[in-house]
Amino acid sequence: MNSLRLLAESASTFATEWNWLFWMLVAVCGAVATGIAVLLIYWTIRYHRRRADELPEQIEGNIKIEAAWTVIPLILFLGMFGWGAKLYFEIERPPANARTVYVVAKQWMWKAQYATGQREINTLHVPVGEPVQLLMISQDVIHSFFVPAFRIKQDVLPRRYTAIWFQATKPGMYHLFCAEYCGTKHSGMIGWVYAMQPHEFQLWLEQGGAEGSLASTGEKIFHQFGCANCHHFDTQGRCPMLRDLYGRPVQLMNGQTILADETYIHEKILHPRAQLIQGFDPIMPSFDGQLTEEQLVALIAYIKALGPPPGTGQPSAPGTAPQIPEYEKGITGPRSTSISGSKPGAR
């Protein structure tokens, strides 16, 4: 362990700028507080009433001083806001090529699932120098995913996916905490993030004991729960086609349009009648209580991996459909037919 340090180790691309912002805030707030305290004490002594009948000199205002005390703090604090906002937007917007890892939080552990099929509990293996996005959901109460060395913290909620991303900058093991009180063993809901050199990470993936990709696990669940009985992939019957659904706008019966993201698909499987889809009867049964969050993650990975209907020649709109990065191909062998059924490169 390192000797005394004021901040946690800095091990992500955010960390350096985060440190600068943090120390700037400390310095500015410290300087302002000190300045006020010093002037308060000095003026108290300098201008205290010396005689019982002493009257202070009346001052009518001073445009220069008033302008200065308005403009200087305005610039200072808007600068803080601007800098903080810039960093916030960076943290909120993962790069398009980020590797997605699904995280399920529960009392009291963290479960991670990789697109390539590896799973782990209370540990997370990531490559150095590559952006990693975590898509997280809770199967019970609110948790919070916190890795101080990466300067990332994100609430993990039930019934809604939240995301955070980071890019590790140096190999090592970094503490992972739950930062939201979540019950008796909250303090034990901890783990380690292992940042590894890319070749070591590749080795870890290959030895990770994955039995097929997450999407292929999702495909099995899709058939096991009879989803395929209604959701056909070539014809649109009484149920919506799931091909190319992810990332698309969906028209609801109440006139609203909603984006088919992970949370939408999750909600549709568990609470299909909460939002009815334009043009379809509400015949979908609820799978609430039948599927675990891990199975739901696999189903969503499967639906995300479905490309446009074969033969339509319709490429997915850029930026809306999921990109299957190189690393997802090949490591766990060929994808099953219905996933790879769409044109290569079309997704």
Which listed range, 181-189, 226-234, 266-274, 338-346, lies at the site for ligand CUA (CB under 6 A)?
181-189
- Residue from 137, 182, 210, 301 touching ligand CUA (CB under 6 A): that is 182
**Closest to ligand CUA by CB, 99 or 143:** 143
Select the span of 182-190, 207-215, 257-265, 329-337 touching ligand CUA (CB under 6 A).
182-190
Contact status: 121 vs ligand CUA (CB under 6 A): no
CB within 8 A of 218, min separation 6: which ones? Answer: 298, 299, 300, 301, 302, 303, 305
Among 186, 231, 266, 268, binds ligand CUA (CB under 6 A): 186
Q: Which of 265, 250, 244, 87 is nearest to 161 (CA)?
A: 265
Cα–Cα distance list, 307 to 51, 260, 261, 310 (Å): 87, 14, 15, 8
Q: Please state the closest distance from residue 208 (CB atom) to ligand CUA, in A.
A: 25
- Give the count of residues interacting with ligand CUA (CB under 6 A): 8
The token pair at 335 is 């994808």
Which residue lies nearer to ligand CUA by CB, 180 or 328? 180
Candidates 42-50, 174-182, 234-242, 246-254; binding stretch for ligand CUA (CB under 6 A): 174-182
Q: Is 189 among the residues that bind ligand CUA (CB under 6 A)?
A: yes
Query: Whole-angstrom Cα distance, residue 91 to residue 137?
Result: 18
Q: Kindly give, in sequence order, each residue whose CB lies less than 8 Å from that of residue 95, ignoring residues fewer than 6 positions away.
A: 131, 165
Strand, coil or helix: 64: helix
How far apart are CB 197 and ligand CUA at their closest, in Å?
30
Query: Which CB sits closer to ligand CUA, 125 or 186?
Result: 186
Q: How is 330-344 classified by DSSP, letter by letter? A: STT-PPPHHHHTSPT
Task: Considering the complex, state which of residue 186 and residue 268 has its C-beta at the smaller distance from ligand CUA.
Answer: 186
Q: Are 99 and 131 in contact (CB under 8 A)?
A: yes
Pairing, β 123-127 against β 191-196: parallel
Q: What are phi and psi of 91, to 5 degrees?
A: -70, -30
Q: Which two tokens stand for residue 299?
A: 């189903």
d(CA 248, CA 321): 8
- Encoded one letter per residue, x for contact with ligand CUA by CB under 6 A and - for no contact, window 122-151 reads ---------------------x--------
- Applying CB under 6 A, the span of 89-97, 164-172, 179-187, 239-247 interacting with ligand CUA comes to 179-187
318 DSSP 8-state letter: T
The least CB distance from residue 186 to ligand CUA, in Å, is 4
Residue from 180, 219, 262, 293 that binds ligand CUA (CB under 6 A)? 180
Q: Does 328 bind ligand CUA (CB under 6 A)?
A: no
Instruction: Decide if residue 103 touches ligand CUA (CB under 6 A).
Output: no
User: Which H helix or E strand runs over 97?
Assistant: none
Is residue 308 within 8 Å of 316, Cβ to Cβ? yes
Question: Does residue number 81 form part of the binding site for ligand CUA (CB under 6 A)?
Answer: no
176 lines the binding site for ligand CUA (CB under 6 A) = no
- Positions that interact with ligand CUA (CB under 6 A): 108, 143, 178, 180-182, 186, 189
